[in-house]
Chains A and B, each alone.
Chain A
Amino acid sequence: MFGAGGGTSSYREVEETDVVFLWGANARENHPIFFHHVLKAIHRGARMFAMDPRRTASAQWAEAWLGLNVGTDIALSNAMARVIIHAGLANRAFIDHATSGYADYAAAVERYTLAYAEQETGVPADVIERAALAFARADRAVICWTLGITEHHNAVDNVLSLINLALLTGHVGRWGSGLNPLRGQNNVQGGGDMGAIPNRLAGFQDWTRDDAVRHKFEQAWGVPLKPEYGRNLTEMFHGMEHGDVRAVYVIGENPAQSEADQNRTERLLTGLDHLVVQDVLMTRTAELASVVLPASSSWCESEGTVTNSERRVQRVRKALEPPGDARDDGWIIGEIARRMGVDWGNPSAEDVWNEVRSLAPMLAGMSYARLEQEGGLHWPCYDESHPGEEFLHARLWAEPRVGPPAPFSVVEHDPPVERPDADYPFQLTTGRRLDAYNTGVQTGGFTSPLTRGETCDMSPEDGARLGVGDGDLVHVTSRRGAVVAPVRLDRNLRAGLVFMTLHYQDQVRTNVLTIDATDPKSGTAEFKACAVRIEPVRAAAGAVA
């Protein structure tokens, strides 16, 4: 946001903040380490508000749970903004000093009355008001979000609506106030930092718009760079569909099971001319591959760095030799380059890191020696004497302000593409559980007392209406496919809302149900919302195609 691809706040700030908005994030289960920091804040007396259709384990710790209808986040945030503005709590000093577009924004949220918001979101008006006022009145407040915000067809708008709230109240660019997307893996942030995204090079540098950047990289690498972005995942699959992507090299991903509309995904992957999969385990995607390259495990069999959600770059050290023919990812890539006729030598992890530092100013100051000595450093860290920045965007408060103003964005409520109707009366939302990880590649092979396999979670009210109880099998059918799963009654769901995960793909292929309605700006599919119909297996036997 505002040109930087990372959360703004350090964990310590989260611990010492006053109000936490946990929006579309069940951190208790899915970001348990981060949630420890939230818990420290809560035990210190901070108030947490949880926005989630489900009353999750995280929401149980909240001052108030705002159980909004799936995909009504913008209706909720815009209504909160209106409450704040009408209460005279908009931070005019900050707005005037550091933002642009406030008037349009204020005008746009005017129609999001509490009554309208209650009708759209389902959340009682008094609770919306309470949360909004708590946020605006707080000395310090942070907003944390994750896939509940981003796995929608309007993911970017959802994020912008949260940024708006922070700009409106001045809760950004200060110690203890900020905006934090939670990263689902130890090094999601680091992947972006390194340029493993289609539209930035290392250090979030845009070579298509900044000639100096392009020249710098071209000079360092000795090759010309095409001034255009690569494809994001969605675009890659579109390419496969239309025949202009014929070969795919997959490193450490399991798209065959993690992508929405799984039947389509498998069809496209198996239709390729050449599929290379580099992974630590034999994933479903690897099973479809032409060539499988066994890789070392990055957390214990490789040297390097990772960057966590608070932008702290940390060293990873090799503890074990990889088994058998498995090799370090860097080594494999280097060997492929060699076969293609380019010799990159045999650089160590530190050599690679130093090249990154020489090209990415925001990482320049982070030598291995410093990372070791200081227990990791926050980026940006411009030179060896720079301490790293614990929080981002202090520039917005600088006198005079440094850099461009932060823009408000007018965003409008736009409900999920597929909504329940007479044929598909249930809203299915998908997510994750504490004891399992994504498609289960890394967790499926281990036992856990919490593991109960895939279930179709539904409210006791729906269970009663369908005449099913815990363990009874049901057909879950969407417009794209059908699965059979056992029922689990869960009081934390309301009537009409059902929940499933993608963890147990061998048992239940949940992603044959989900919809490939993708945000054109972020490339993320709407995993959080599709419509399904549910029938008990005994009653509906044979009724499902």
Chain B
Amino acid sequence: MDLHLLDAVPTADERAAVDAVLGPPEDGWRGGPRGERDHHTATGGIGVRASRHLLLPVLHAVQSRIGWISEGALMYLCQRLTVPPADAYGVATFYALLSTVPRPKRIVHVCDDIGCRCRGAETVCAELERTVGPAWHAPDGEAHAIPSDGAWIRTPCLGLCDQAPAALLTEAGAVPVEQLFGNATAATIARVIGGDLAAAVEPRPKLAQAGDPSLRLLRRVDVADPASFDDYRAHGGYQALRRAVELGPDGVIREVTDSKLAGRGGAAFPTGRKWDAVARQPVRPHYLICNADESEPGTFKDRVVMEGDPYGVVEAMTIAAYATGCEKGFIYLRGEYPLAHERLQHAIDQAKARGFLGENIMDRGFRFAIEIRKGAGAYICGEETAIFNSIEGFRGEPRNKPPFPVQSGVFGKPTLINNVETLVNVLEILRIGGPAYAAIGTEGSTGPRLFCLSGHVARPGVYEVTFGATLRALLALAGGVPGGRPIQAVLLGGAAGGFVRGDELDIPLTFEGTRAAGTTLGSGVIMVFDDTVDLKDILRRVAAFFRDESCGQCVPCRVGTVRQEEALHRLQANRPLGSTADEVALLAEIGLAMKDASICGLGQTAYAAVESAIKRLKLFEPGTAR
């Protein structure tokens, strides 16, 4: 590996942060003091290069200890991992939660995305600008004076839309603090920035349906103690795994196939078929990835599941691993979910201590280990192949398909990758059997489904319904629109989804129902906008989101998302180039190029919401409200 190191040296703290992950340096060539032996030999090769996947964890370690990643820290960790500095810099700058420029140790990330916008995020930001000062950006020039106080920055959706406006506190240090908190006001944020961390603590609201006996996926949330292994078992935990080992791997796959379970991440791929394909791959090892990088604006169902039923996720993964022959599993968890991280890690540790992870699970001779990999603020890393690159220590850029993950996924090995919600459905399938599960819901959409209601609803939150319920029924569950105001639009499926009108509430929320209505379920987002909302502003924020989150790898998306946002800026400001119709035509053309020619779903769907606003809401036609 060609390492062209700069002269910058790490501080003692930076070294300590890296060494905490990697252990002390092996020799003088990899960051230790240069000894006599180093003059005549060095080890390297496959074994050393194989540690590349630790790059993101190490970057996280430095970020959370120091607050930013200096050149000296970068040189040191590059030496430790044998990664060229330019390469590591490319990775570090890929992720929003990592900073390669000086930043205060204490940062409050304030969500200004569409969900929080409906609930006053812009007012909060404006007030912060007035009381605390502008959002932090690194000063230009050589000398960087970092304020000892904290600072705030804007951030896209934090997945706490049920408690909007949301904010995330990160405080670097030997004992780093991370706290995701809701109902944030400028006053509380200012207190947190000033060092009153207690102000960042906000209890999670209780699940509206908690304890409802008809629940299948959320039955344990806010009922069983998420920290207690015994409580999990008392509420039916590990019955599914027992059933699985009775059925054997083939039997499990048969049940999942019979259930007609379709992936809940957004693509709705038949889960049984995916499992079968991985199980059949002769190449070993197989890897399992639980996609917990829930970053679609307006989506927070996986967070609620992971925070409320972490053992359920662990058990479901164990079953999937057993069925498909995986010995190693990763939970790729978005970096903004500290509570979910803590609870999942606790659940993994407990399961291991009880023999439900590790060697010879349930005395059936199979082994399985789970490692949490923390994302670092990149929406694109929810894309399955981008996750592979991210885990392997590269920029989270999607790969071309084929080869498909089942053939060649993470580390080039057959990989089963499923979304959190998809996995927890397996517990229910094994509880009641595949055919019984298939009988729930509709012909084309079987089983229960989680929806994330946010925006202008009385009781925002996650709701579990049987497939087939209408949008109207969901809104009723969430208590309708506050004040009985008229609905201007509902966003289905998140930023990559589409808007429907307030008079389309009878759309059945099934895969086939939404498809027939020309829209999508996506990740289960239902975001309601009443008549007070400036939809052009929402649309521009959606466009800004895609521009910011485009990985930049392929041209249609990299350029298209910028041009789309520019056009929407002009339209919002009522200063179109030519006529409004010209701008709308331009948007359609950009959208088509992105849809046709982008490598991955991000670019392919970046125009979806805009298109639905144009065609369905007729947002830019004269006479259309706001």
Contacts and interface: CB of A to CB of B under 8 A. Distances in A.
Interface of A: 28, 42, 45, 47-48, 55, 57, 59-68, 121-124, 127, 491, 494-495
Interface in B80-95: 82
A494 B41 CA distance: 11
A42 B47 CA distance: 12
Contacts of B39: 67, 122, 494-495
A62 B40 contact: no
Contacts of B45: 42, 47-48, 61-64
Interface string B204-245: 000000000000000000000000000000000000000000
Interface string B269-311: 0000000000000000000000000000000000000000000
24 contacts: A42-B46, A45-B46, A60-B3, A61-B44, A62-B45, A63-B43, A63-B46, A64-B41, A64-B42, A64-B43, A66-B41, A67-B40, A67-B42, A122-B39, A122-B40, A123-B41, A124-B37, A124-B40, A127-B40, A127-B41, A491-B34, A494-B39, A494-B40, A495-B39
B46 A60 contact: no
A28 B2 contact: yes
Contact of A61 (B1, B29, B47): B1
A65 B40 CA distance: 8
A357 B553 CA distance: 52
Interface in B38-63: 39-47
Nearest to A128: B41
A260 B265 CA distance: 69
Given A124-B41, A495-B39, 8 more contacts: A47-B45, A55-B42, A59-B42, A60-B3, A64-B41, A64-B45, A65-B42, A67-B41
A47 B46 CA distance: 8
B443 to A, nearest CB: 48
A59 B47 CA distance: 15
A399 to B, nearest CB: 36
Contacts of B34: 491
Nearest to B4: A57
Interface of B: 1-3, 29, 34, 37, 39-47, 82
A57 B3 CA distance: 8
Nearest to A69: B40
B41 A65 contact: yes
Contacts of B41: 64-67, 123-124, 127
A123 B40 contact: yes
A57 B2 CA distance: 6
Contacts of B2: 28, 57, 60
Nearest to A122: B40
- Nearest first, the 5 closest Cβ-Cβ pairs linking A and B are A63-B45, A494-B39, A67-B40, A65-B42, A122-B40
A68 B39 CA distance: 9
Contacts of A122: 39-40
A180 B402 CA distance: 38
**By CB atoms of chain A within 10 A, which of B29, B42, B43, B47 has the most?**
B42
Nearest to A47: B45
A419 B37 CA distance: 22
B334 to A, nearest CB: 31
A397 to B, nearest CB: 30
Nearest to B41: A127
**By CB atoms of chain A within 10 A, which of B2, B3, B40 has the most?**
B40
Contacts of B42: 55, 59-60, 62, 64-65, 67
A68 B42 CA distance: 12
A491 B44 CA distance: 16
Nearest to A489: B7
A358 B3 CA distance: 51
